[in-house]
């Protein structure tokens, strides 16, 4: 017996985008609810969607305010934000307000699906953390604190390991500078520290630290760990 | 008369038409003057009668000022007319009232009555003379009715003083009389006037009663009446002639006459100028007052120089021309005649010399030279005595000058030189004989003349003669001469001494004049070079203020137009405040394009003198000068230098303005060009990908059945690729717009260049798919102060550009290394390189390198954006060609951040 389909609430004022998402997502087995504005979107929260795709530029309610309102109703539901280009500040703010990830318009369907999967996976992980993470040649055993690239063990300093563990726990999801700094040090630490540790970490786990494959930079926003190879969360 | 001349006569004269047009200037008010031969003829009464008539006709008539002098009939006429309240002026504890010019201008009636045109205003008024108030009212477009007595007309001043033996100080220039649109003679026979005087109907101030009793003699009044009638008739005549000329009516008007009056520093100059004005009026000829500045000018004292400038100023106020020329020839007469011939003069007026015969023998007589050489030009020699206003005063002046200019030092030096010459003579006399002694003395005299001037050398000549006689001519040690041959020799010696003195002294004064002129010329030349070299307006202003202050020893301010008014822009010594009165004078000078302030005709009470700085295209600003020394601000010499300075400054200021205008025009042109390029670019770059997308998508929809799966996915790839391209183009347009709007505010933080390179490469994966990318990033690269997002975009554009021009399979290299306190990043491609002349142009907006077959057109914005972003972060970017092979090399230089002190060994 198959699980009931995952319900996705799309809040966007552009009919072509709603139509595209309805078509694209339903082929992947998602059930779609859509709303042309913030008010209608909030009303549809009663339908208990599993994930929300929220456009930040709505006609009636400012995107960030809507995000707050949603989070006030439901602290857990994954939210993927659709934002415009060149609005790194808006993206960071949305993430700080509790959005799980973002996609910049215009976007490809594969990109959106990946973001959605990462957001959903993280929600499931919160309930039962997977002990072994694997992507490409990199494997991280969170229980035994073992990091391997291929067959070789990688020796990390405690801070480097803490950074890697955070990234792995949210693999596929973007983590803001602020979140990482706040988790590893405190909110007021200079972002340079983070950059230096990311560089050191890359030198230890990446094949070509100049063109990293695992720890990816989201310029102006933060970092993202490549998604695991075999999603076993479904 | 030839036909040509005939035609000339019949054609309306352009000058006449212009004059007619000037009089018809609709904006200027019309002037009506009520002229009387003497006080008491009833001018004010007549003016008021006519004012009432105008008022009944519906005109807006107000009284600016009218003096009833207690006459009941006149006072009664003031009833029913609006009178502008007078303004109070405090002067030396007295309260004086004057017409309120500002109130009159603000009231703007159609007709204003201003009594007594020749009145002198109280100190503190804007203008020293009432006729200047009237001119301002006329310029403001208000009609003026005014009154004047004939003896106040400037050019008749001398004549009337001679007739009546009463000189009036208050005069009005003939120009305002001639400017009048209507002149009405208020006539009363002398008998009637004397009767009115006896009846007490003529207002006479008590203190002047006796003088005026003499003035009101029947003979005087008859003469004055005749003058008034004649002057008025002259005016009518002028109008008639002007009309005849304007309408090309043939008539016997005088043609081609031109008068030159020569003046010197003597007090007769003013009389000569007035005489010439009357002569010129009778002949309807233009006239010029000429001053020849020779060697003697240098020797004049300030008083004499002021007299020259007063005379020239008088000529200007009588509508003549005033010209100063330097003496070029050895005789002044030649200079005068040279100028007269050059300007086609027909008459030359000179004053009769009152110099002694002896002086004329030595220096020659200008009058005689003129008469001898004048050829077709008539020479008018005017007796000086007749013109002299008060000989006593002139004499007093002269003795003042003598005492003022006497300086004993040169004479002491001359005495010493003669004593030395005597000593030397005593030494050589026994050896060379007495006949050579005179040469020693002559040498001393030449030396004195060339060093100290004429006076001391004449003194030396006398002293030397006496010494020669006393010590060397027998009988020795007496002043008698025994032998006749010695007497002859002595006579020749004295003559030689005097002639040599004269020649040497003249050479000296010429040299002194030349040096002083050369110094002035040099200073002006240096100034003009300085002005030519400076570029900014502030530099020009400062140089002008400084130079004027230095050359004339004055304080200087410069005011330039600003927001509809004028404001101080520079000063030396630096000055940013003027008091209220001076600022008002400066503003008046600006809005009326005339000199104002201290010593001028407008607001003369101020501390500063303001002159407009003019070029051929109008005034560009106002220069104000101030000097602590009381009296006239500038001597004529200084005035000339000042004029030269401000002329040059005005040209320099205008030049700066013109350059700014040109720049603005160029920018406008550039903007237009860009706008055109933008439109082309948008229409082309937006439509091309859209056409591909639309075509591919519609093909898939409409022809789905006939397409293989491979064809379908190829079409779909086109849709996606072209959409990407469109997206990049729009992103570029947005970036460019933000740059242009100044909306790019870099969020700079210490960044790791390697990290940004990595993320950019990931983003550019698709466009770099056909190329191999080689990285050489030095391990010791410092952290850089960058906005990561902007820099990524800049780098993306550079990679996009490299990919576009490199052949498929080509290598794109990125090298980064530390260079002192900065880092350099090079992006090298294997394309054809950049033509040398385009290395800078490629960063311009919408610039595209020559399109090649296999290169897809870009937006022409990518590199402009890259440069804009990099420069916004404090970096630089330049393009070069690779030296090792064909290909372009872009070099980005970025400032390093302070390295964080990080302890990563926990």
DSSP B849-905: PPP-TTS----S-HHHHHHHHHHHTT-EEEEEE-SSSSSEEEEEEEEBPPPP-----
Per-residue pLDDT band for B679 (boundaries 50, 70, 90) equals confident
Lowest-pLDDT range of A87-96, A151-160, B399-408, B631-640:
B399-408
DSSP A25-80: HHHTT-EEEEESSHHHHHHGGGG--SEEEEES--SSS-HHHHHHHHHHH-SSS-EE
Residue B393: predicted pLDDT: 37
Burial class (CB in 10 A: 0-12, 13-18, 19+), B351: buried
Query: Which tokens belong to B454?
Result: 């004429």
- For the segment A92-105, the average pLDDT, to the nearest whole number, is 91
Residue B401: predicted pLDDT: 37
The answer to whether A157 contacts B777, with C-beta atoms less than 8 Å apart, is no
CA distance A13 to A53: 12
Express each pLDDT in B889-898 by its tens digit: 999 999 887 7
Chain A residue with the nearest C-alpha to that of B785:
A192
Per-residue pLDDT band for B452 (boundaries 50, 70, 90) equals confident
Residue B662 pLDDT greater than 70, yes or no: yes
Residue B386 pLDDT greater than 50, yes or no: no
Would an 8 Å CB–CB cutoff place B539 in contact with chain A? no
Task: For residue B758, list chain A residues with Cβ-Cβ distance below 8 A.
Answer: 209-212, 217
Express each pLDDT in B166-181 by its tens digit: 777 788 888 888 888 8
CB contact set of B764 (below 8 Å; sequence gap of 6+) = B796, B799, B800, B803
CA distance A6 to B790: 38
Would an 8 Å CB–CB cutoff place B745 in contact with chain A? no
CB contact set of B299 (below 8 Å; sequence gap of 6+) = B509
Express each pLDDT in B537-558 by its tens digit: 888 888 888 888 888 888 899 9
Residue B206: predicted pLDDT: 57
Per-residue pLDDT band for B246 (boundaries 50, 70, 90) equals low
The answer to whether A192 contacts B789, with C-beta atoms less than 8 Å apart, is no
The mean of the pLDDT values for chain B is 80
CA distance A35 to B572: 74
CA distance B864 to B845: 6
Residue B509: predicted pLDDT: 78
CA distance A71 to A80: 13
**Stronger pLDDT, B438 or B751, i.e. the higher one:** B751
Residue B163 pLDDT greater than 80, yes or no: no
Express each pLDDT in B11-37 by its tens digit: 555 555 555 545 556 678 889 999 888
B829 touches B767 (CB < 8 A): no
Radius of gyration of chain B from Cα atoms? 44
Spatial CA neighbour of B755 closest among A213, A131, A113, A195: A195
In this complex, which of A86, A191, A199 lies closest to B734 when CB atoms are compared?
A86
**Stronger pLDDT, B478 or B120, i.e. the higher one:** B120
B273 touches B308 (CB < 8 A): no
Strands (E), B653-705: none
Residue A216: predicted pLDDT: 93
Query: B173: part of which helix (H) or strand (E)?
Result: none
Q: Is the dihedral of CA A49, A55, A57, A58 positive or negative?
A: negative
Burial class (CB in 10 A: 0-12, 13-18, 19+), B727: middle
Would an 8 Å CB–CB cutoff place A162 in contact with chain B? no
Would an 8 Å CB–CB cutoff place B693 in contact with chain A? no
Would an 8 Å CB–CB cutoff place B749 in contact with chain A? yes
Among A125-129, B394-398, B597-601, B728-732, top mean pLDDT goes to B728-732
Chain B residue with the nearest C-alpha to that of A106:
B727
Express each pLDDT in B253-271 by its tens digit: 434 688 989 888 877 888 8
Buried-state track A171-195, b at ≥16 Cβ within 10 A, e below 16: bbbbbbbbbbbeeeeeeeeeebbbb
B460 touches B453 (CB < 8 A): no
- For the segment B317-324, the average pLDDT, to the nearest whole number, is 76
Residue A140 pLDDT greater than 80, yes or no: yes
Q: How far apart are the CA of A85 and the nearest CA of chain B, in angstroms?
A: 8
Would an 8 Å CB–CB cutoff place B229 in contact with chain A? no
CB contact set of B235 (below 8 Å; sequence gap of 6+) = B177, B178, B180, B183
Spatial CA neighbour of A161 closest among A130, A137, A140, A136: A140
Burial class (CB in 10 A: 0-12, 13-18, 19+), B510: middle
Express each pLDDT in B200-212 by its tens digit: 777 665 555 665 6
Task: For residue B755, list chain A residues with Cβ-Cβ distance below 8 A.
Answer: 195, 198-199, 217
Task: For residue A196, list chain B residues with Cβ-Cβ distance below 8 A.
Answer: 752, 900, 902, 904
CA distance B62 to B81: 6
Spatial CA neighbour of A79 closest among A52, A42, A57: A52
Per-residue pLDDT band for B523 (boundaries 50, 70, 90) equals confident
Q: Which residues pair with A133 in a beta bridge?
A: A140
CA distance A216 to A219: 9
Q: How far apart are the CA of A194 and the nearest CA of chain B, in angstroms?
A: 11
Residue B219 pLDDT greater than 70, yes or no: yes
CA distance B740 to B672: 15
Express each pLDDT in A64-73 by its tens digit: 899 999 999 9
Spatial CA neighbour of B150 closest among B119, B177, B129: B177
Would an 8 Å CB–CB cutoff place B683 in contact with chain A? no
CA distance B279 to B345: 14
Query: Which tokens belong to A27?
Result: 């082929």
Neighbours of B638 (CB within 10 A): 19
A 211-230: CB under 8 A from B:
211-212, 216-220
Neighbours of B637 (CB within 10 A): 19
């Amino acid at each position: 017996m198959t699980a009931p389909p995952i319900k996705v609430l799309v809040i966007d004022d552009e009919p072509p985008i709603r139509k595209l998402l309805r078509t694209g997502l339903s082929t992947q087995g998602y059930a779609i609810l859509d709303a042309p504005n913030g008010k209608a979107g909030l009303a549809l929260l009663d339908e208990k969607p599993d994930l929300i795709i929220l456009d930040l530029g709505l006609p009636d309610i400012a995107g960030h305010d809507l995000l707050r309102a949603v989070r006030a109703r439901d602290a857990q539901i994954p939210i993927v934000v659709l934002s415009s280009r060149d609005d790194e500040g808006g993206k960071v703010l949305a993430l700080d307000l509790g959005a799980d990830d973002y996609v910049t318009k215009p976007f490809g369907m594969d990109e959106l699906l990946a973001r959605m999967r990462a957001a959903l996976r993280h929600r499931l992980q919160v309930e039962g953390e997977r002990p072994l993470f694997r992507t490409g040649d990199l494997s991280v055993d969170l229980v035994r604190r073992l990091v391997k690239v291929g067959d070789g063990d990688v020796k990390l300093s405690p801070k480097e390991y803490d950074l890697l563990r955070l990234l792995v726990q949210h693999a596929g999801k973007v983590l803001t500078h602020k979140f990482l700094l706040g988790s590893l040090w405190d909110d007021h630490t200079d972002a340079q520290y983070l950059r230096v540790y990311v560089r050191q970490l890359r030198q230890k786990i990446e094949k070509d630290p100049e063109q990293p494959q695992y720890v990816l930079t989201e310029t102006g926003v933060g970092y993202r760990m490549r998604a695991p190879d075999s999603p076993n969360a479904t | 008369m030839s036909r040509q001349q005939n035609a000339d006569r019949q054609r309306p004269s352009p000058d006449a038409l212009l004059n007619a047009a000037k009089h018809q200037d609709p904006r200027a008010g019309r002037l009506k003057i009520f002229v009387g031969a003497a006080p008491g003829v009833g001018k004010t009464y007549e003016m008021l009668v006519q004012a009432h008539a105008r008022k009944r006709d519906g005109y807006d008539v107000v009284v600016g000022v009218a003096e009833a002098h207690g006459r009941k009939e006149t006072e009664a006429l003031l009833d029913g007319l609006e009178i502008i309240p007078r303004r109070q002026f405090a002067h030396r504890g007295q309260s004086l009232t004057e017409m309120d010019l500002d109130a009159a201008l603000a009231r703007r009636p159609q007709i204003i009555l201003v009594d007594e045109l020749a009145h002198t205003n109280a100190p503190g008024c804007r203008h020293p003379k009432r006729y200047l108030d009237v001119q301002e009212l006329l310029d403001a477009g208000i009609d003026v009715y005014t009154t004047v007595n004939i003896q106040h007309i400037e050019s008749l001043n001398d004549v009337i003083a001679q007739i009546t033996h009463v000189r009036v100080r208050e005069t009005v220039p003939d120009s305002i009389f001639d400017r009048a649109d209507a002149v009405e003679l208020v006539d009363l026979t002398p008998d009637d006037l004397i009767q009115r005087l006896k009846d007490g109907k003529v207002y006479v101030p008590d203190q002047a009663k006796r003088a005026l009793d003499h003035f009101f003699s029947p003979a005087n009044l008859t003469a004055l009446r005749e003058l008034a009638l004649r002057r008025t008739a002259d005016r009518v005549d002028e109008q008639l002639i002007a009309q005849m000329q304007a309408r090309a009516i043939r008539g016997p008007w005088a043609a081609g006459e031109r008068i030159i009056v020569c003046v010197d520093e003597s007090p007769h100059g003013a009389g000569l100028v007035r005489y010439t004005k009357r002569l010129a009026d009778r002949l309807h000829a233009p006239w010029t007052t000429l001053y020849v500045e020779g060697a003697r000018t240098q020797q004049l004292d300030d008083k004499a120089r002021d007299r020259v400038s007063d005379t020239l100023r008088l000529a200007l106020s009588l509508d003549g021309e005033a010209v100063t020329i330097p003496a070029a020839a050895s005789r002044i007469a030649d200079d005068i005649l040279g100028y007269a011939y050059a300007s086609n003069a027909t008459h030359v007026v000179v004053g009769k010399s009152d110099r002694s015969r002896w002086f004329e023998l030595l220096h020659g007589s200008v009058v005689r030279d003129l008469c001898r050489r004048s050829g077709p030009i008539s020479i008018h020699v005017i007796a000086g005595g007749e013109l002299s206003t008060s000989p006593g005063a002139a004499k007093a002046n002269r003795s003042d000058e003598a005492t003022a200019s006497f300086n004993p030092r040169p004479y002491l030096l001359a005495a010493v030189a003669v004593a030395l010459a005597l000593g030397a003579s005593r030494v050589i006399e026994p050896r060379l004989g007495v006949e050579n002694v005179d040469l020693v003395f002559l040498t001393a005299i030449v030396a004195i003349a060339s060093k100290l001037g004429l006076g001391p050398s004449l003194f030396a000549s006398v002293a030397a003669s006496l010494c020669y006689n006393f010590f060397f001519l027998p009988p020795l040690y007496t002043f008698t001469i025994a032998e006749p041959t010695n007497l002859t020799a002595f006579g020749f010696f004295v003559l030689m001494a005097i002639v040599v003195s004269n020649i040497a002294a003249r050479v000296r004064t010429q040299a002194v004049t030349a040096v002083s002129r050369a110094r002035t010329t040099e200073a002006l030349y240096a100034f003009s070079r300085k002005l030519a070299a400076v570029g900014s307006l502030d530099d020009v202003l400062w140089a002008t203020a400084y130079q004027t202050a230095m050359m004339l020893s004055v304080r200087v301010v410069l005011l330039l137009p600003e927001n509809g008014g004028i404001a101080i822009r520079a000063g030396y010594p630096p000055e940013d405040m003027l008091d209220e009165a001076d600022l008002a004078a400066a503003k008046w000078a600006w809005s009326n394009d005339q000199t104002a302030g201290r010593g001028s005709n407008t607001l003369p009470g101020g501390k500063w003198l303001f002159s407009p700085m003019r070029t051929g295209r109008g005034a560009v600003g106002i220069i104000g000068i101030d000097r602590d020394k009381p009296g006239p601000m500038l001597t004529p010499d200084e005035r000339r230098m000042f004029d030269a300075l401000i002329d040059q400054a005005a040209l320099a200021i205008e030049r700066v303005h013109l350059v700014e205008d040109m720049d603005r025009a160029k920018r406008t042109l550039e903007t237009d060009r860009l706008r055109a390029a933008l439109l082309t670019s948008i229409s082309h770059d937006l439509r091309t990908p859209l056409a591909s997308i639309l075509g591919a998508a519609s093909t898939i929809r409409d022809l789905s059945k006939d397409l293989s799966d491979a064809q379908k996915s190829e079409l779909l790839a086109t849709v996606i690729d072209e959409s990407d391209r469109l997206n990049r183009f729009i992103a570029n347009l947005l970036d460019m717009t933000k740059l242009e709007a100044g909306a790019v505010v870099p969020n700079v933080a210490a960044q790791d260049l390697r990290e940004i390179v990595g993320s950019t490469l990931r983003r550019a994966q698709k466009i770099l798919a056909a190329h191999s990318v080689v990285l050489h990033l030095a391990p010791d690269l410092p952290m850089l102060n960058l906005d990561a997002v902007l820099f990524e975009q800049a780098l993306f554009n550079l990679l996009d550009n490299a990919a576009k021009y490199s052949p498929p399979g080509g290598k794109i290299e990125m090298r980064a290394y530390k260079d002192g306190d900065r880092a350099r990043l090079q992006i090298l491609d294997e394309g054809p390189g950049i033509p040398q002349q385009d290395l800078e142009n490629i960063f311009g907006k919408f610039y595209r390198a020559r399109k090649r077959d296999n290169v897809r057109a870009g937006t022409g914005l990518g590199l402009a954006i890259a440069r804009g972003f990099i420069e916004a972060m404090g970096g630089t970017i330049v393009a070069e060609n690779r030296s090792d092979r064909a290909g372009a090399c872009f070099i980005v230089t970025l400032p390093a951040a302070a390295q964080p002190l990080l302890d990563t060994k926990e």
